[in-house]
């Protein structure tokens, strides 16, 4: 099956565009191919051009869009900032991309009750910026936090570099407003920690835009700890650093971050960020501990001892806020710096039990050697959340196929040691056909039934999460990765 066969051709695209302009006004409906191209991509390996892109500014606009789409039988793809990396925010079967970028108001902040109500297009970091002067912050902090939206975070149940201590998005969302595919507006959860109703907030967080369009989010705010200590451990190998991670966790000191950068990552990131990372290090571990000031010396000493016991040749401690920011810039800028290595990259997001980290790192490198490819590893080591990143050149014949085959083996290796397919970037359209590796047909059927209860016509972000007749990998390796606005390959 080809993608052209699965595109759900909208019956009358021009009439649909007109109907949407009637409700939104002319400037908030994109239909020109040049405008649509900017919405064909979300950092994953595949691109797909939507039929139309619309820009709601309120819940009422979203309701109007959903009702018009329903009349035309058009698929809807909610989109935040398009940083999702798994094909979740693109439109492989065509349809209307609903960009939430113009719904970016912080509606209220209630410090007494430690929560805020925000629109879904609000950029993650802006929530913290709005409350940090009062000593508060929004805990989930993806490395993309200066760009990604709260709506995208909710849909992907995103984590971040402090997930180890604070948990993922689902632990920080108290309530949601969502527009269902028939235009009904529902309020889920509330402001308190435990809602007496069915936990539909828990269901929607992580549902990747397949159940409805989130239009408001009540987030939990947290109080900053008194003090923080940020350290870099410089190791001869990634296995040593991985063992140090396991030992630090086992020690019970409860670090807030344990982030790994391997040698290839350092090679890419150091010329971009100038954080002083040694180019000959096998791996660099970024470690953070937080708490009351008096306890940090003791925690830092334990971390240092455990690193040295695992052959760390040097431990650096950030002496100033600027130095700390530089260490974090190296970690958070790592994916962006990969353009220095090759024109394309394929980034994975798998999770393994932490105790299996040393083993899985060896396996990933063995698979890379066998396929003659390079792999950069930069990841949330404390959570066992790997991000093997394969730099490659899609213009070289056969290269994409090789990368896809190696990637599949790496994912399979993670699953084989008791891991799973995604820690935070979602399943999207990249990994939906691997879902049967971890779920039985009965498991998937139960999830499909839930999806159908919300979206009986399967128009909300179709071809995502659940297995489909054609996979992202098949499309990518069979055809050049570009679609015309008509939905046909060019
Ligand atoms: C450099 C880089 C670093 C990253 N680091 C991390 C990291 O540390 N941790 C992490 O978890 N992720 C990380 N990511 C992945 C990504 O940033 C997150 O998944 C993020 O939550 C996506 O947000 P977004 O606004 O870009 O969403 P998009 O990519 O636009 O969309 C993601 C999904 O959300 C759905 N969606 C968006 N808005 C809504 C809405 N209002 N209602 C319903 N569904 C909606 C979309 O349909 C799609 O399925 C990184 C990405 C990059 C490029």
Q: CATH 3.30.465.10 spans which residues of the chain? A: 106-223
Ligand 1 atom 15, closest CA? 84
What contacts 446, CB < 8 A, 6 or more positions away?
Answer: none
Alpha carbons 178 and 354: distance in angstroms, whole number:
35
Q: Which residues sit opposite 229 in a β-bridge?
A: 289
The verdict on the CB of residue 207 being under 6 Å from ligand 1 is: no
Residue whose structure tokens are 């993670």:
414
Alpha carbons 105 and 214: distance in angstroms, whole number:
14
| CATH architecture of structural domain 227-421 | 3-Layer(aba) Sandwich (3.40)
In testing the pocket of ligand 1, which one of 142, 154, 427, 461 has its CB within 8 Å of the most ligand atoms? 142
In testing the pocket of ligand 1, which one of 46, 81, 125, 148 has its CB within 8 Å of the most ligand atoms? 148
> Which residue pairs, CB below 8 angstroms and at least 24 apart, start in 223-226?
223/114, 223/135, 223/136, 224/132, 224/135, 224/136, 224/137, 225/290, 225/291, 225/292, 226/291, 226/292, 226/293
C-alpha 121 to ligand 1 mean position (Å): 11
In testing the pocket of ligand 1, which one of 258, 261, 378, 425 has its CB within 8 Å of the most ligand atoms? 425
The verdict on the CB of residue 80 being under 6 Å from ligand 1 is: yes
Mean predicted lDDT score pLDDT of the chain:
93
pLDDT digits (tens, 9 = 90+) for 346-380: 998 999 998 888 899 999 999 999 999 999 999 99
Alpha carbons 364 and 244: distance in angstroms, whole number:
19
Beta strands in 292-375 (DSSP E): 314-317, 344-347, 350-351
C-alpha 261 to ligand 1 mean position (Å): 22
Q: How many helices (H) and strands (E) does the chain have?
A: 18, 20
The verdict on the CB of residue 82 being under 6 Å from ligand 1 is: yes
Q: Which residues sit opposite 116 in a β-bridge?
A: 109, 219
Q: Which residue, 344, 127, 314, 130, is CA-closest to 232?
A: 314
Q: Which residue, 54, 180, 176, 204, is CA-closest to 120?
A: 176
- What are the CA-CA distances from residue 230 to residues 266, 267, 275, 304, 370 (Å)? 18, 22, 13, 12, 37
pLDDT at 468 over 50: yes
pLDDT at 8: 67
C-alpha 87 to ligand 1 mean position (Å): 10
* Topology of domain 3-102+442-478, CATH: 3.30.43
What token pair was written down for 357? 């980290």
C-alpha 42 to ligand 1 mean position (Å): 9
Q: Which atom of ligand 1 is nearest to the CA of 161?
A: 8
Q: Which residue, 121, 31, 122, is CA-closest to 78?
A: 121
In testing the pocket of ligand 1, which one of 45, 79, 385 has its CB within 8 Å of the most ligand atoms? 79
pLDDT digits (tens, 9 = 90+) for 65-118: 999 999 999 999 999 999 999 999 999 999 999 999 999 999 999 999 999 999
pTM for the structure as a whole: 0.95
The verdict on the CB of residue 94 being under 6 Å from ligand 1 is: no
Ligand 1 atom 34, closest CA? 152
The proportion of the chain whose per-residue pLDDT surpasses 90, expressed as a percent, equals 86
Task: List the Cα angle 453/433/367 in 5-degree steps.
Answer: 150
Q: CATH 3.40.462.10 spans which residues of the chain? A: 227-421
What token pair was written down for 89? 């925010």
The proportion of the chain whose per-residue pLDDT surpasses 70, expressed as a percent, equals 96
pLDDT digits (tens, 9 = 90+) for 433-460: 999 999 999 999 999 999 999 999 999 9
- Phi and psi, residue 169, nearest 5°: -55, -40
Which of the four pLDDT bands, split at 50, 70 and 90, describes residue 4?
Answer: low
pLDDT at 3: 61
Cβ-based neighbour number of residue 424 at 10 Å: 26
| CATH architecture of structural domain 106-223 | 2-Layer Sandwich (3.30)
Q: Which of 50-64, 95-109, 415-429 has the lowest mean pLDDT?
A: 415-429
Q: CATH 3.30.43.10 spans which residues of the chain? A: 3-102+442-478
C-alpha 143 to ligand 1 mean position (Å): 11
459: Cα separation from own chain's centroid: 22
148: Cα separation from own chain's centroid: 9
CB 73 within 8 A of CB 11: yes
C-alpha 9 to ligand 1 mean position (Å): 27
* Count of CA atoms in the C-beta half-sphere (13 A) of 53: 26
């Amino acid at each position: 099956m080809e993608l052209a066969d699965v595109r759900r051709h909208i019956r009358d695209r021009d009439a649909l565009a007109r109907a949407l302009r009637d409700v939104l006004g002319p400037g908030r409906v994109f239909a020109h191919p040049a405008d649509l191209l900017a919405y064909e991509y979300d950092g994953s390996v595949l691109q797909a051009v939507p039929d139309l892109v619309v820009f709601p500014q309120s819940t009422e606009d979203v309701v109007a869009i959903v009702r018009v789409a329903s009349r035309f039988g058009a698929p809807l793809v909610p989109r935040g900032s398009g940083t999702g990396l798994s094909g979740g925010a693109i439109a492989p079967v065509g349809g209307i991309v609903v960009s939430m970028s113009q719904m970016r108001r912080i509606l209220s902040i209630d410090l007494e009750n430690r929560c805020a109500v925000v629109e879904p297009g609000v950029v993650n970091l802006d929530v913290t910026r709005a409350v940090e002067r009062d000593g508060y912050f929004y805990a989930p902090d993806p490395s993309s936090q200066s760009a990604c939206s709260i709506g995208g975070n909710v849909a992907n149940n995103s984590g971040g570099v402090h997930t180890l201590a604070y948990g993922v998005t689902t632990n920080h969302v108290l309530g949601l407003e969502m527009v269902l595919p028939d235009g009904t507006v529902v309020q889920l959860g509330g402001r308190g920690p435990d809602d007496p109703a069915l936990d539909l907030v828990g269901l929607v967080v992580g549902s990747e835009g397949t159940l409805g369009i989130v239009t408001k989010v009540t987030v939990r705010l947290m109080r900053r700890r008194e003090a923080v200590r940020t350290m870099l451990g410089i190791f001869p190998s990634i296995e040593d650093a991985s063992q140090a991670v396991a030992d630090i966790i086992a020690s019970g000191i409860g670090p807030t971050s344990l982030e790994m950068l391997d040698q290839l990552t350092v090679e890419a990131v150091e010329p971009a960020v100038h954080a002083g990372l040694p180019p000959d290090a096998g791996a660099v571990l970024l470690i953070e501990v937080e708490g009351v000031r008096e306890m940090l010396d003791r925690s830092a000493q334990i971390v240092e001892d455990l690193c040295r016991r695992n052959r760390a040749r040097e431990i650096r401690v950030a002496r100033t806020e600027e130095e700390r920011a530089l260490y974090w810039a190296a970690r958070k800028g790592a994916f962006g710096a990969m353009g220095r290595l090759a024109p394309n990259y394929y980034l994975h997001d798998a999770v393994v039990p932490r105790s299996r980290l040393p083993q899985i790192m060896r396996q990933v490198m063995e698979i890379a050697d066998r396929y003659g490819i390079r792999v950069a590893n930069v990841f949330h080591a404390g959570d066992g959340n790997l991000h093997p990143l394969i730099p490659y050149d899609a213009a070289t014949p056969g290269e994409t196929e090789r990368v896809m085959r190696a990637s599949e083996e790496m994912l399979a290796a993670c699953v084989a040691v008791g891991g799973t397919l995604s820690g935070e970037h979602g399943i999207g359209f990249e990994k939906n056909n691997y879902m049967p590796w971890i779920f039985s047909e009965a498991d998937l059927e139960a999830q499909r039934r839930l999806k159908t209860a919300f979206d009986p016509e399967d128009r909300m972000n179709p071809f995502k999460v659940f297995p489909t007749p054609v996979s992202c990998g098949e499309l990518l390796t069979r055809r050049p990765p570009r679609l015309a606005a008509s939905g046909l390959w060019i």
